[in-house]
């Protein structure tokens, strides 16, 4: 029998704390005497008792603490410092037999405000801290204060105890004015075995915007190594209260507890301080002693991390596996700040073989500070391992703690407890049955509380699922669901329950399960009667040693997917909502899945061998020499195809279609079957000599113009088809084509007629400009590129300008009244183009009519006669006007003459 001992006990009650420590120290010897240890081993135990730092009469919190406090003028406000002191001492177990606190305040000089033996209770120290006044001073002599504290503060004359652990806490906000004396002061502390904590307050530097680098280096030198354990810095005096928990709990509550595990053939000790606090273990057997060298664990604790104080050996234990194999356990709660636990074996030469290591998951959680292996069923082998992480941070960054239960993948968090806990997992033990169910229970310590975790029995569930009928018929529909014909099935879900857990416990319990059909498949092929694809949760009453069954009824609807079987999945878990019950054994299934296939009509061998044959043809034909011309009125091409099955059923038949880029698929139309009474659409089963025809309609693309159209069809199925018949599963049809674009080719001229001057008469300067405009318009959808325009003009001048210039008229050999000049324009395509032009749109003409003026001959007699005739006509006109009185003046009457004279 193994006796497991952990030399730590922590509680807020002083008497319980000390009694627990004394019991832990004496339990080792009593256990070995009871189980028959050899006299030689008992002698070694008595010799070791005098060397253990944790004796039978002292508690682990047997400490003398001296606080060195800066009281110079730069500390402000002083009330925040008082609050820090009150809260710090309020978290310590102050008693003459536990922790004593003294305080030295300094500035230009150092003063003992109170000594270690002045106060005996926590209330007295808190009252003194509340009434503490600042000494003030213009200088900060930190070295002198440290010397006074280490040489005088821990002396017996001031209440110091030689056997108590000595802790020095230095709180200051600036560099010392006697820094040259600091090495000597620290040497005096080392001589007195004083562990030093340094707290740097940066308020003075931040308020004056000064660089605190030199100040921080000085406080790090004052603090013991490593810095991450003994050095603190805060932004100002008000932030001092933020580190009270770290000082009161992490430093004083958890550090420096030795551990050991007593077995029948020896003792395993944890050596936390070995190798610069990296830690190690020591095995003392009846006839040999094993202490591994530092290099023995380099794989688990790399040399690069030797100065990080992993604290290996902080907790030690052992576990016995099946077959009699034993593994030693040791925790290193500060490894990489997350913690680590190793399970290892010793070799005869002192080497260590690590079987497995466990890693913490949260920084600062102190994972591995407590180890507790459990034999839950009493068969002599370890079933579970409990690993404590008491500093694990829960909600709101509260140190709730956590206990990990290994081998079953379980962990117990403090937040799952009915009441709020702090530092859950400070101590763990499991040896007694406290609730009378013959199962070992687990006791877990927390801050000011103890939690009893009752062990629960372990059961194993063996589920089974049988479907009737075993396959789904495709043809037969034996029931109606929701007004439609369907194939109905039933499934028998059974659980066989076994357990190896002895004792008195209720062997009847509930299991809660739920079921689903085709859970990860889109589209519902099957559904439960009265429900959908998912069955609402149900409970089933089980008992150990019996088989309990439940019937599940479902139906399969009409579907085209006959290849994939319907998946029936049942997920289950033990239902402990009403009362605590058993738990499932590790490795027990939590779900069961059943594949329900569709029945096949494929003969006695139940293997369908098919022969698919595919034919296709296109309604246009064209070769390289005589391509098919796609004219403006035609935009579509039709492909007719026929798919035939010549042998057994072809399940889940599919048709793959590919075509050239100059086509667009516009429709797919199934046609009449190949044979009367036979014909199924693609995707359904096909009986022998069944087939289907279909019509594919494509449109020519307006964006891509290619010289060939191509359509390829491939038929496949999930049935077996021999290689010799696969050649007709793919068919390809194609045709060479050319496109006839719909072009409008027109021309316009500014002058259509030119008059030639008589022979020998030439115009001054160039003649009139003849301007012809050509217009080519694409009225179709095809993109026309690569067009060539050729113009045949009567003459070409220098510089490539087209015009007509006449410098001489020769009329000897020809007589004409007018001459028409025809300019011909031709529109063509590049060689190899897929475009073909019509004759109407290919040519255009421009006409220019040239005429010659006719000379007119006049006779002299005609000219003289014309003049004389004009004169006679003028004389006749004048005579007529004279006769009419046009040239006679009107006379004035006599009366008017007399009146005119009188007026004068």
pLDDT digit string, tens, across residues 157-211 = 999 998 888 999 999 988 899 989 999 999 999 998 898 999 999 888 888 888 8
> Is 734 in the same domain as 790?
no
Banded model confidence at residue 70, pLDDT cuts 50, 70, 90: very high
User: CA–CA separation, 826 vs 842, rounded Å?
Assistant: 6
- Whether the pLDDT of residue 389 is over 60: the answer is yes
Averaged pLDDT for residues 40-52: 45
> Is 445 in the same domain as 463?
no
Banded model confidence at residue 827, pLDDT cuts 50, 70, 90: confident
786's torsion region: left (phi>0), alpha (psi -120 to 50) or beta? left
Q: What is the pLDDT of residue 307?
A: 61
Residue in the structure block whose two tokens are 């995707």 = 683
Q: What is the pLDDT of residue 29?
A: 41
Which residues are bridge partners to 233 per DSSP?
200
Residue in the structure block whose two tokens are 């502390």 = 189
C-alpha distances in angstroms, 213 versus 206, 687, 779? 12, 89, 84
47 inside domain: no
413 inside domain: yes
Give the model confidence (pLDDT) of 289-343 as tens digits. 888 888 888 888 887 776 667 889 889 999 888 777 888 999 998 888 889 999 9
Q: Choose the final residue of a domain: 186, 219, 251.
A: 251
Are β-strands 654-659 and 612-618 bridged in parallel, bridged antiparallel, or unpaired?
Answer: unpaired
Taking a C-beta distance cutoff of 8 angstroms, is the pair 472, 489 a contact?
Answer: yes
751 inside domain: yes
User: CA–CA separation, 724 vs 609, rounded Å?
Assistant: 12
Q: Which two tokens stand for residue 754?
A: 């030119």
285, 276, 287, 356: which is closest to 311 by C-alpha? 276
Banded model confidence at residue 712, pLDDT cuts 50, 70, 90: very high
Q: Mean pLDDT highest for which of 239-253, 439-453, 756-770?
A: 439-453
Q: Which two tokens stand for residue 137?
A: 């001073």
Q: What is the pLDDT of residue 431?
A: 67
DSSP string for 411-438: EEEGGGSSS--SSBTSEEE----SSSSS
> Is 465 in the same domain as 449?
no
Q: Which two tokens stand for residue 590?
A: 């939590």
Give the model confidence (pLDDT) of 436-476 as tens digits. 666 777 888 877 788 877 777 888 899 999 999 888 877 67
* Residues 50, 56, 57, 63, Cα dihedral to 10°: 80
The residue ranking higher by pLDDT, 271 or 308, is 271
Q: Tell me the CATH number at 468.
A: 2.60.40.1460
Mean pLDDT is lowest, of 115-119, 210-214, 280-284, 851-855, for 851-855
Mean pLDDT is lowest, of 80-84, 161-165, 285-289, 387-391, for 285-289
User: CA–CA separation, 211 vs 206, rounded Å?
Assistant: 8
Averaged pLDDT for residues 712-738: 90
The residue ranking higher by pLDDT, 252 or 195, is 195
User: CA–CA separation, 234 vs 376, rounded Å?
Assistant: 48
Q: Which two tokens stand for residue 94?
A: 């102050």
Task: Report CA 85 to chain centroid distance, whole Å.
Answer: 47
**Contacting residues for 743 by C-beta, under 8 A, at least 6 apart:** 776, 777, 778, 779, 780, 784, 827, 837, 841
User: CA–CA separation, 675 vs 130, rounded Å?
Assistant: 107
838 inside domain: yes
User: To the nearest whole percent, how much of the chain has pLDDT over 70?
Assistant: 76
Length of the chain: 904
- Sheet containing strand 442-446, strands side by side: 427-429, 442-446, 449-453
> Is 482 in the same domain as 448?
no
439 inside domain: yes
Taking a C-beta distance cutoff of 8 angstroms, is the pair 737, 628 a contact?
Answer: yes
User: CA–CA separation, 494 vs 594, rounded Å?
Assistant: 13
> Is 625 in the same domain as 666?
yes
Are β-strands 402-406 and 384-389 bridged in parallel, bridged antiparallel, or unpaired?
Answer: antiparallel
The residue ranking higher by pLDDT, 35 or 672, is 672
Q: Which two tokens stand for residue 9?
A: 């006990």
> Residue 462 has what DSSP assignment?
E
C-alpha distances in angstroms, 175 versus 74, 208, 219, 878? 11, 14, 8, 144
Give the model confidence (pLDDT) of 401-427 as tens digits. 888 888 644 555 665 666 667 777 777
Give the model confidence (pLDDT) of 849-874 as tens digits. 767 666 666 667 878 888 888 888 88
Q: What is the pLDDT of residue 648?
A: 83
C-alpha distances in angstroms, 248 versus 91, 223, 483, 605? 6, 17, 75, 80
Q: Choose the final residue of a domain: 547, 575, 599.
A: 599
Number of C-beta neighbours around residue 390 at 10 A? 32
Query: Domain residues for 700?
Result: 609-673+690-739
Are β-strands 458-468 and 583-584 bridged in parallel, bridged antiparallel, or unpaired?
Answer: parallel
Mutual angle of helices 39-49 and 14-34, in 10-degree steps: 160
Residue 763 phi/psi, 5-degree rounding, is -70, 150
Q: What is the pLDDT of residue 11?
A: 32
Q: Which two tokens stand for residue 734?
A: 């194609």
Q: What angle do CA 83, 85, 87 make, to 5 degrees?
A: 70
**Contacting residues for 742 by C-beta, under 8 A, at least 6 apart:** 632, 778, 779, 780
Helix (H) or strand (E) holding 78: helix 78-90
> Is 437 in the same domain as 466?
no
Q: Tell me the CATH number at 75.
A: 3.40.50.410
11 inside domain: no
- Whether the pLDDT of residue 678 is over 60: the answer is no
Task: Report CA 614 to chain centroid distance, whole Å.
Answer: 47
Q: Please classify residue 413 by burial: count the beta carbons closer than 10 Å to its beta carbon, then call 0-12 exposed, 13-18 middle and 19+ buried.
A: middle
567 inside domain: yes
If you average pLDDT over every residue of the chain, what do you get?
A: 78
> Is 730 in the same domain as 797?
no
Task: Report CA 733 to chain centroid distance, whole Å.
Answer: 48
Residue in the structure block whose two tokens are 């627990």 = 20
405, 429, 403: which is closest to 414 by C-alpha? 403
Q: What is the pLDDT of residue 129?
A: 92
Q: How many domains is the chain partitioned into structurally?
A: 5
Residue in the structure block whose two tokens are 């324009």 = 825
Averaged pLDDT for residues 76-104: 87
Banded model confidence at residue 792, pLDDT cuts 50, 70, 90: low
- Whether the pLDDT of residue 1 is over 50: the answer is no
> Is 211 in the same domain as 86?
yes
- Whether the pLDDT of residue 555 is over 70: the answer is yes
Task: Report CA 23 to chain centroid distance, whole Å.
Answer: 53
875 inside domain: no
Averaged pLDDT for residues 628-647: 86
Q: What is the pLDDT of residue 523?
A: 65
Q: What is the pLDDT of residue 891?
A: 60
- Whether the pLDDT of residue 81 is over 60: the answer is yes
The residue ranking higher by pLDDT, 532 or 535, is 535
> Before 469, cis peptide (omega within 30)?
yes
Mean pLDDT is lowest, of 339-353, 618-632, 738-752, for 738-752
> Is 410 in the same domain as 522?
no
Q: Choose the final residue of a domain: 411, 431, 455.
A: 455
Averaged pLDDT for residues 807-823: 57
- For 202-325, where are the E strands, in sequence order? 231-234, 260-263, 266-271, 280-285, 289-290, 315-320
The residue ranking higher by pLDDT, 618 or 94, is 618
> Is 541 in the same domain as 479?
yes
> Is 420 in the same domain as 517?
no
Q: What is the pLDDT of residue 900?
A: 64
> Is 628 in the same domain as 723?
yes
> Before 77, cis peptide (omega within 30)?
yes
> Residue 660 has what DSSP assignment?
-
Give the model confidence (pLDDT) of 575-589 as tens digits. 887 777 888 887 788
The residue ranking higher by pLDDT, 843 or 296, is 296
User: To the nearest whole percent, how much of the chain has pLDDT over 90?
Assistant: 22
């Amino acid at each position: 029998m193994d006796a497991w001992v952990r030399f730590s006990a922590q509680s807020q009650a002083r008497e319980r704390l000390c009694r627990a420590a004394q019991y832990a120290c004496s339990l080792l010897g009593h256990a070995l005497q009871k189980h028959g240890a050899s006299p030689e081993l008992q002698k070694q135990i008595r010799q070791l008792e005098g060397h253990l730092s944790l004796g039978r009469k002292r508690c682990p919190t047997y400490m003398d603490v001296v606080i060195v406090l800066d009281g110079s003028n730069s500390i402000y406000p002083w009330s925040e410092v008082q609050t820090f002191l009150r809260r710090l001492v309020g978290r310590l177990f102050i008693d003459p037999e536990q922790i004593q606190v003294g305080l030295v305040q300094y500035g230009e000089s150092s003063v003992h405000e109170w000594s270690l033996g002045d106060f005996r209770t926590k209330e007295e120290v808190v009252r003194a801290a509340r009434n503490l006044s600042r000494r003030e001073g213009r200088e900060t002599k930190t070295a002198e204060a440290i010397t006074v504290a280490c040489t005088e503060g821990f002396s017996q004359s001031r209440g110091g105890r030689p056997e108590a652990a000595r802790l020095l806490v230095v709180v200051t906000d600036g560099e010392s004015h006697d820094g040259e004396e600091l090495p000597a002061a620290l040497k005096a502390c080392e001589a007195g075995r004083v562990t030093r904590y340094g707290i740097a307050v940066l308020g003075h530097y931040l308020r004056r915007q000064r660089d605190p680098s030199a100040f921080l280096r000085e406080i790090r030198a004052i603090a013991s190594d490593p810095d991450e354990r003994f050095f603190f810095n805060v932004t100002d005096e008000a932030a001092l209260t933020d580190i009270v928990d770290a000082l009161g709990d992490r430093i004083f509550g958890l550090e420096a507890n030795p551990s050991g595990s007593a077995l029948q053939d020896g003792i395993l000790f944890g050596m936390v301080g070995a190798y610069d606090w990296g830690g190690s273990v020591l095995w003392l057997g009846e006839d040999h002693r094993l202490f591994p060298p530092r290099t023995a664990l380099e794989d688990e604790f790399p040399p690069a991390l030797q100065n990080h104080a992993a604290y290996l050996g902080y907790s030690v234990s052992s576990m016995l596996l099946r077959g009699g194999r034993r593994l030693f356990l040791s925790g290193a709660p500060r490894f990489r700040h997350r913690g680590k636990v190793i399970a290892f074996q010793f070799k005869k030469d002192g080497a260590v073989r690590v079987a497995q290591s466990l890693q913490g998951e949260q920084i600062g959680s102190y994972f591995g500070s407590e180890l507790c292996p459990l034999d839950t069923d009493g068969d002599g082998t370890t079933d579970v391992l409990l690993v404590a992480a008491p500093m694990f941070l829960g909600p709101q960054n509260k140190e709730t703690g956590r206990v990990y239960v290994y081998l079953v993948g379980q962990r117990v968090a403090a937040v799952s407890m009915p009441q709020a806990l702090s530092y859950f997992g400070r101590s763990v033990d499991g040896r007694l049955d406290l609730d009378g169910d013959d199962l070992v229970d687990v006791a877990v310590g927390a801050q000011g509380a103890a939690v009893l975790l009752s062990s629960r029995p372990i059961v194993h569930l063996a589920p089974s699922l049988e479907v009737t009928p075993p396959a789904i018929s495709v043809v037969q529909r034996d029931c109606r669901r929701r007004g439609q014909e369907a194939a109905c099935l039933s499934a028998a879900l059974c659980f066989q329950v076994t357990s190896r857990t002895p004792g008195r416990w209720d062997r009847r319990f509930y299991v809660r399960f739920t079921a689903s059909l085709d859970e990860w498949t889109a589209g519902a092929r099957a559904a439960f009667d009265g429900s959908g694809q998912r069955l609402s949760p149900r409970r089933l009453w089980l008992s150990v040693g019996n088989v309990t069954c439940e019937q599940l009824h479902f139906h399969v609807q009409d579907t085209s997917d006959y290849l994939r079987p319907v998946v029936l999945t049942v997920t289950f878990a033990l239902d402990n909502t009403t009362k605590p019950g058993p738990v499932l054994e590790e490795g027990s299934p939590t779900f069961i899945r059943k594949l329900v296939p569709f029945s096949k009509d494929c003969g006695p061998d139940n293997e369908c061998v098919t022969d698919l044959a595919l034919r296709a043809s296109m309604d246009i034909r064209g070769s390289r020499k005589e391509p098919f011309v796609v004219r403006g009125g035609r935009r579509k091409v039709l492909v007719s195809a026929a798919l035939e099955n010549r042998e057994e059923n072809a399940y889940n038949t599919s048709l793959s279609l590919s075509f050239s880029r100059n086509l667009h698929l516009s429709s797919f139309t199934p046609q009449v079957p190949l044979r009367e009474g036979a014909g199924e659409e693609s995707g359904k089963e096909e009986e022998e000599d069944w087939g289907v025809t279909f019509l594919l309609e494509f449109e020519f693309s307006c964006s891509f113009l290619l010289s060939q159209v191509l359509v390829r069809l491939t038929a496949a199925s999930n049935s077996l088809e021999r290689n010799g018949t696969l050649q007709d599963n793919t068919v390809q049809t194609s045709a060479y084509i050319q496109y006839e674009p719909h072009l409008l080719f027109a021309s316009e001229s500014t002058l259509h007629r030119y008059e030639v001057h008589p022979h020998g008469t030439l115009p001054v300067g160039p003649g009139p400009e003849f301007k012809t405009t050509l217009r080519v318009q694409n009225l179709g959808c095809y993109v026309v590129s690569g067009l060539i325009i050729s113009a045949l003009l009567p003459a070409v001048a220098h510089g490539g300008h087209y015009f007509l210039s006449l410098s001489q008229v020769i009329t000897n050999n020809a007589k004409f009244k007018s001459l028409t000049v025809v300019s011909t324009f031709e529109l063509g395509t590049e060689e190899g183009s897929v475009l073909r032009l019509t004759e109407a749109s290919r040519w255009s003409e421009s006409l220019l009519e040239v005429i010659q003026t006719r000379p007119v001959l006049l006779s002299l007699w005609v000219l003289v006669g014309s003049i004389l005739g004009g004169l006679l006509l003028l004389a006749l006109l004048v005579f007529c006007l004279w006769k009419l009185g046009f040239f006679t003046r009107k006379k004035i009457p006599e009366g008017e003459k007399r009146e005119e004279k009188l007026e004068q």
